[in-house]
């Protein structure tokens, strides 16, 4: 069996590739390298540069490599950008996912792991957020992912696909062994940006919104270590291979940190008191998103190992520092 990892040269996808390799799986990566990096893919893994919507290409990959499962990570993920460019997000995240699913069905692929997002919940009325709550995304990013969830469920029913949808909360950190991390210099993840400020790569950090209905007025998020997230994908794959039913599951730890709290942890771990400025809210940002995360533990037997925020920050900082030499490659 061979797993096709779309977006496998990117942040989360590259960690999935590492976890698959670590347990001896056969892997192929498909990535257009618009935000991914060729050097993030281990040399022993075939890297095919192309688009998931190129159905002739995907058909060849499935046939030539004997693809049995697809882990689909390729997507645009920046909320403010989705507000400014909604049609681009619906094209990249929804239309292209539809093309990939059609290719999977035609090629006889039986199992799909889909990267979704907590943004499908919008402004949830309860916290932590359970999977069964009404879905009401408030930005095009969340809507583009919810449409893809619907398509996958409908295609599964019609064509016998098995799938697991994983709704990510805020992904952070880097591979504990230093093999991969968040590498895009213009990424908007809070811990990434704060780390760049701590290392002197930015003049400081801008915090958007201090008047949210949260304890300190800044947004609250559930930060999940990228390696724990990748291992949730492995658990999902094992579940489907064992004949398990299709599932939609939250990926988070069940507790949240405010933006101000995260900034203080980055300052503490780095030992740098970098400048912080405060601005108005960004369009499309909900006040709080924290996962109700008991279902994934029960259904998949998933046990996170990297829940400590200081550990997450420390590894993110180490990776950010290593990029000074990696990006020179």
CA triple 148-153-157, angle to 5 deg? 145
Q: Is 89 a catalytic residue?
A: no
Q: How would DSSP label each residue in 80-96?
A: HHHHH-HHHHIIIIIIH
Task: List, as one string, the DSSP characters of 230-268.
Answer: HHHHHHHHHHHHTTPPPEEEEES-S--EEHHHHHHHHHH
Q: Which of 278, 277, 279, 269 is nearest to 198 (CA)?
A: 269
- CA torsion, points 187, 26, 69, 131, in degrees to nearest 10? -50
Q: Which residues of 31-60 are buried (b: 16+ CB within 10 A; e: fewer)?
A: bbeebbbeebbeeebebbebbbbbeebbee
> Following DSSP, what letter does each residue of 190-242 receive, concatenated?
HHHHHHHHHTTSSS-EEEE-S-SSSTTSS-EE-EEEHHHHHHHHHHHHHHHHT
Distance CA 195, CA 202 (A): 9
Alpha-carbon Rg for the chain in angstroms: 19
Of the residues 11, 141, 212, 253, only one is catalytic, namely 141
DSSP per position, 111-160: EEEEEEEGGGG-S-SSSSBPTTSPP---SHHHHHHHHHHHHHHHHHHHH-
Token pair 């920046």 in the structure block, residue = 78
Residues sharing a CB contact under 8 Å with residue 167, sequence separation 6 or more, in sequence order: 116, 117, 118, 120, 121, 131, 248, 249, 250, 251, 291
Catalytic residues: 141
């Amino acid at each position: 069996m061979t797993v096709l990892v779309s977006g496998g040269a990117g942040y989360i996808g590259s960690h999935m590739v590492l976890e698959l390799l670590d347990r001896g799986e056969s892997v192929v990566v498909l990535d257009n390298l618009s935000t991914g990096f060729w050097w993030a893919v281990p040399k022993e893994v075939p890297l095919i540069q192309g688009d998931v919507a190129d159905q002739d290409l995907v058909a060849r990959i499935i046939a030539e490599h004997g693809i049995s499962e697809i882990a689909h990570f390729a997507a645009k993920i920046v909320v403010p950008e989705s507000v400014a460019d909604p049609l681009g997000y619906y094209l990249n995240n929804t239309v292209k996912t539809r093309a990939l699913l059609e290719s999977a069905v035609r090629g006889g692929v039986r199992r799909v792991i889909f990267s979704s997002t907590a943004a499908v919940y919008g402004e949830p009325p309860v916290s932590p957020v359970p999977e069964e709550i009404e879905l009401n995304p408030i930005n095009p990013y969340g809507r583009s992912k919810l449409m893809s969830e619907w398509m996958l469920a409908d295609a599964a029913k019609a064509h016998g696909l098995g799938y697991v949808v994983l709704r990510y909360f805020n992904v952070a950190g880097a591979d504990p062994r230093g093999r991969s991390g968040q590498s895009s210099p213009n990424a908007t993840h809070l811990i990434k940006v704060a780390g760049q400020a701590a290392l002197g790569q930015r003049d400081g950090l801008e915090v958007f919104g201090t008047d949210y209905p949260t304890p300190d007025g800044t947004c609250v998020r559930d930060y999940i270590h990228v390696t724990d997230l990748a291992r949730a994908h492995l658990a999902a794959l094992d579940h489907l291979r064992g004949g398990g039913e299709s599932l939609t599951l939250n990926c988070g730890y069940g507790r949240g940190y405010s933006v101000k709290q995260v900034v203080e942890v980055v300052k503490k771990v780095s030992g740098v008191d970098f400048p912080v400025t405060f601005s108005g809210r960004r369009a499309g940002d909900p006040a709080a998103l924290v996962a109700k995360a008991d279902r994934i533990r029960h259904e998949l037997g998933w046990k996170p190992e990297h829940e400590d925020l200081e550990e997450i920050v420390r590894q993110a900082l180490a990776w950010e520092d290593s990029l000074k030499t990696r990006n020179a490659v």
